[in-house]
Structure 1
């Protein structure tokens, strides 16, 4: 087989391979993510802070993380949690969040999480889907979870649990349960390409592979062991979970945890803790540029790299950021919930604009597939990105049909993203084939909002499409066909949806149309609606100026 050294492309198979020398993955069948991570701990790391609370300065060392993880496993076991049970955590970021993840996995249970912004109905759907035996949540969020949940799982407040663990420490023997790499470690929710969100089955093997890959790539950087990361990403999301549980623990660096994102809190934390690496999503980059005058009052000289993911970052924003912060390296990475974290990483170039989302991480293969013929394409040609590797999910929970549509018989995951790979093996996103709306890096499924809107008695037809927004990236816009002589207005439609979904899913713009364009098979032609909406908006802008 002839493989290009520069691009990693094999002309005989049509596959691209990672240019990284792939580290050897553990072959021991009986291995969990926590046991793998703790087996790698060096003596120098035991007293080192693994996590620091940004506000209070309280910390948990690697040694404490290991012992407390064992304690959590024993406590969960005493509550009747056993191997294979689902434990759902509904909470914002806090210092001990990673401890809960590792504790649940150590007892052999399955960790699952939900966005704390979800409504009661959205949480109820997820609970019915995964049937957790235990829910861990906060006092503030308890009211969403303690009523109308049908057969009720055990519900425990995190404040009470952590107070008991930290103020009444007990010494337990090492918790002993046989956990295999092919056992389910987590159920993480992804919107997929259409419809309601799906539960992604993540194995211990997937997370162990992700840890090995991130460690291998990050350790190539000088001083990786001494890096300070700032966690402003939600840990209930795969991007945050993979970086700050699989990644930073694998290289034994320190992570500062911010409970809730605000630009000021982020800047204060960077200055206070001398943060060197800052993973963010595109709206945060836009905000750093837009409010650069206010940023000047903070010392950000410690930051070596800003790592951006969650949605594509536009060239204009990258250029502006590069001019404002030439001393920082701006890089992009790419991953999916279905890949259990990032599968491309880019080192970026300080003071320069580089639109690539990086090269394939160790152990990852890719194909660029012609969307019409299904044939693999060579470098510089656009097609759908397919990926394959040990971090790719097992499938969607209790949904073999959706799994078979996402992963083919050869193990290739269809990402739904239109991409090309250049002659150097760097991946570029051109557009999204899938119809998800990316609002501040959250995934919003149009079909879910359309289903809600169609329940309104004065709406005949509806299509929800993305509308460009500088601050959010995209906002959900509803194209509405009124029923009969209805005089329904935009505000009514927006409020109708607002109390039924999480804030990031809200309809934020409405246009009224005569009809919804559809294909012969009945599929909504969203691209036509997007083009019409943009043209109409531009015309309105011009007329208002005149």
Structure 2
């Protein structure tokens, strides 16, 4: 490739060879935001004349709706009630709740007081909740009557507030005329706003501290991305059909993907969100999509797989125009199957982390959606030479089985580097290395964990604009059109139905069993779940009686359902490096021939 062609390719990719940085094709968005906190940003938007009476959230199970104006009134009224209970700026409020119409209300109420919102998976065991509470030290817990018994292991000093009673009292005692002003809190952009838990790049779950500035940046970025025209104007205009868009929410709101999409994104955009509460069911989801005219559905790969499996072959009655998937990569096979079942619905991917307060890449809606062959078509006119090089490189990757499904382009204000894991040097397009991202939405750090923060974030320097780079632990490359592709993960997390499962946590549980001498947990491919946790176990001498079912039950009793071991393979030893590190790649290769024999004994469903 000659120098002129290489320069053209770099420009098309948004790559600067001098700095090694890839930049978003969208103009900067965050610099224009003047609000000092997320409540300052969101509450005025809820009163815009064209949306104050529009439904903000609809409960698909009951048909109950909350308009944008009512969302504001109820959120401020709830903030006053929480203030009366003693919640103050800097306090942590733990929200333990399934998806509901009022999850956004409670979230906005906490944030408007300058308190820090933390969330927890309702599937966690009482001991797991207690462990998270010991780390986050909540002032109070907001939970439902059904989930309240799970708080039995929390210290008595932590207040329990039942959501049902709280909201009943707010509606009864705090009318709209009293809920016109926010309680004074003097919140700034550097104040902590969210404390969501993530396994990060390695190891145990850690508290991710996101500031109001981080949250503001993500809300503004999604508002810009989802609110731009679909007519190919490069993000310069508003979507003329935006008022027509209805978003479907089946993602858990306690997870950053769901929270950032619906509490931050659609709320800022002014789009209606249909919440489908309760245990996921593809039939229930599709019924809500049809009944409420959902046009854009956010999902994780197992949901996309189930949509295709349950397809009846007739989708003309649906208003659904797009499905956006994240949490784990979609395979080419699943993409092709989806397009065969839903030829009129585009399928796109996005990528983000808890540490980045949500998405950092997303396919250009309605233009860069992946097609039936798993490729992300370009929407831009390229020079013939650059296009030819791009096609040749990507066809070679595709035919060799490499990653070929784009996770989209960088969102507004996001920057990236592809860093050689060995040399540490930034890499140009079509070279694979670790993805580093930099954005005003990237976290402040991990709560009370300076070592983990230092591993995840580079030192911020004036030369780098004062912002740190987040090391994602994912091996990626960027093509000459700016599309990002995930090749593999450097980190050891298992992605079960888009949940993050840390092998180290399960290995500690297995080690506590009196008949286990050594254990290692590794992922194993599964069509529906993506990956399942499989344990390789060495029995202690004299423990020949130990059976697989006993270990499965032992682990299941101590962890949330999505974390449980799905299969056990007994081995003579666990391969380790001289330093004692488990050689997981060797185990994964070994399991390719060992696990199928156990398939009939243990279902992963």
Answering whether residue 352 of structure 2 is matched by residue 335 of structure 1, we say yes
The residue number in structure 2 matching 1:307 is: 324
The residue number in structure 1 matching 2:286 is: 267
Show the 5 A alignment for 1:164-175. Answer: 164-170=169-175, 171-174=178-181, 175=183
The residue number in structure 1 matching 2:378 is: none
The residue number in structure 2 matching 1:7 is: 13
The residue number in structure 1 matching 2:185 is: 177
The residue number in structure 2 matching 1:161 is: 166
For residues 229-268 of structure 1, the C-alpha deviation after alignment (integer angstroms, 9 at most, x for no partner) is 0110000000000000111011100001111221111011
Contact 2:534 2:565 in 1 (8 A): yes
Answering whether residue 528 of structure 2 is matched by residue 509 of structure 1, we say no
Q: 1:373 aligns with which of 411, 423, 427?
A: 423
Q: Supply the distance in 2 between the matched residues of 1:134 and 1:455 (Cα, whole angstroms).
A: 32
Q: 1:200 aligns with which of 189, 208, 225?
A: 208
Question: How far apart are 1:537 and its partner, in Å?
Answer: 4.3
Q: TM-score, normalised by structure 2?
A: 0.86
Answering whether residue 451 of structure 2 is matched by residue 396 of structure 1, we say no
Does the residue aligned with 1:127 lie in a helix, a strand or coil? helix
Q: 2:50 aligns with which of 44, 49, 73?
A: 44
Contact 1:52 1:58 in 2 (8 A): yes
For residues 447-496 of structure 1, the C-alpha deviation after alignment (integer angstroms, 9 at most, x for no partner) is 00000100111111100000111111111000001111312111011001
Question: How far apart are 1:177 and its partner, in Å?
Answer: 1.9
Change (3 A) 1:496 1:539: closer
Q: 1:358 aligns with which of 370, 392, 408?
A: 408
Contact 2:362 2:409 in 1 (8 A): yes
Q: TM-score, normalised by structure 1?
A: 0.95
Q: Supply the distance in 2 between the matched residues of 1:401 and 1:225 (Cα, whole angstroms).
A: 46
Answering whether residue 559 of structure 2 is matched by residue 526 of structure 1, we say no
Question: How far apart are 1:79 and its partner, in Å?
Answer: 0.7
Contact 1:325 1:351 in 2 (8 A): no
Question: How far apart are 1:299 and its partner, in Å?
Answer: 6.0
Q: 2:496 aligns with which of 439, 442, 454?
A: 439
The residue number in structure 2 matching 1:477 is: 534
Contact 2:208 2:354 in 1 (8 A): yes
Which sits farther off after the overlay, 512-521 or 150-159?
Answer: 150-159
Does the residue aligned with 2:318 lie in a helix, a strand or coil? coil
Q: Which runs of 5+ in 1 are unaligned?
A: 542-546
Q: 1:319 aligns with which of 336, 343, 348?
A: 336
Q: Supply the distance in 1 between the matched residues of 2:290 and 2:338 (Cα, whole angstroms).
A: 19
The residue number in structure 1 matching 2:436 is: 386
Answering whether residue 68 of structure 2 is matched by residue 18 of structure 1, we say no
Contact 2:73 2:180 in 1 (8 A): no
Contact 2:297 2:320 in 1 (8 A): yes
The residue number in structure 2 matching 1:189 is: 197
Contact 1:267 1:298 in 2 (8 A): no
Contact 1:225 1:251 in 2 (8 A): no
Contact 2:99 2:275 in 1 (8 A): yes
Q: 1:84 aligns with which of 86, 90, 109?
A: 90
Q: 2:273 aligns with which of 232, 246, 255?
A: 255
Question: How far apart are 1:373 and its partner, in Å?
Answer: 1.1
Q: Supply the distance in 2 between the matched residues of 1:300 and 1:431 (Cα, whole angstroms).
A: 38
The residue number in structure 1 matching 2:111 is: 105
For residues 327-372 of structure 1, the C-alpha deviation after alignment (integer angstroms, 9 at most, x for no partner) is 0000000000000000001033375333100000011110111111
Does the residue aligned with 2:579 lie in a helix, a strand or coil? coil
Q: 1:495 aligns with which of 538, 553, 556?
A: 553
Contact 1:482 1:512 in 2 (8 A): yes
Answering whether residue 65 of structure 2 is matched by residue 65 of structure 1, we say no
Does the residue aligned with 2:355 lie in a helix, a strand or coil? helix
The residue number in structure 1 matching 2:455 is: 405
Does the residue aligned with 1:46 lie in a helix, a strand or coil? coil
Q: Supply the distance in 2 between the matched residues of 1:499 and 1:455 (Cα, whole angstroms).
A: 13
Question: How far apart are 1:540 and its partner, in Å?
Answer: 8.6
Contact 2:335 2:371 in 1 (8 A): no
Does the residue aligned with 2:589 lie in a helix, a strand or coil? helix
Show the 5 A alignment for 1:127-146. Answer: 127-145=133-151
Question: How far apart are 1:301 and its partner, in Å?
Answer: 2.3
Answering whether residue 216 of structure 2 is matched by residue 229 of structure 1, we say no
Contact 1:185 1:202 in 2 (8 A): yes
Q: Supply the distance in 2 between the matched residues of 1:370 and 1:286 (Cα, whole angstroms).
A: 34
Which sits farther off after the overlay, 103-112 or 2-11?
Answer: 2-11
Q: Which runs of 5+ in 2 are unaligned?
A: 1-6, 231-238, 376-404, 461-467, 600-605
Question: How far apart are 1:151 and its partner, in Å?
Answer: 4.5
Contact 2:524 2:531 in 1 (8 A): yes
Does the residue aligned with 2:13 lie in a helix, a strand or coil? coil
Q: Supply the distance in 2 between the matched residues of 1:310 and 1:187 (Cα, whole angstroms).
A: 19
Aligned length: 536
Question: How far apart are 1:409 and its partner, in Å?
Answer: 0.7
Question: How far apart are 1:436 and its partner, in Å?
Answer: 0.3
Q: Supply the distance in 1 between the matched residues of 2:158 and 2:99 (Cα, whole angstroms).
A: 23
Contact 2:78 2:167 in 1 (8 A): no
Q: Supply the distance in 1 between the matched residues of 2:37 and 2:511 (Cα, whole angstroms).
A: 45
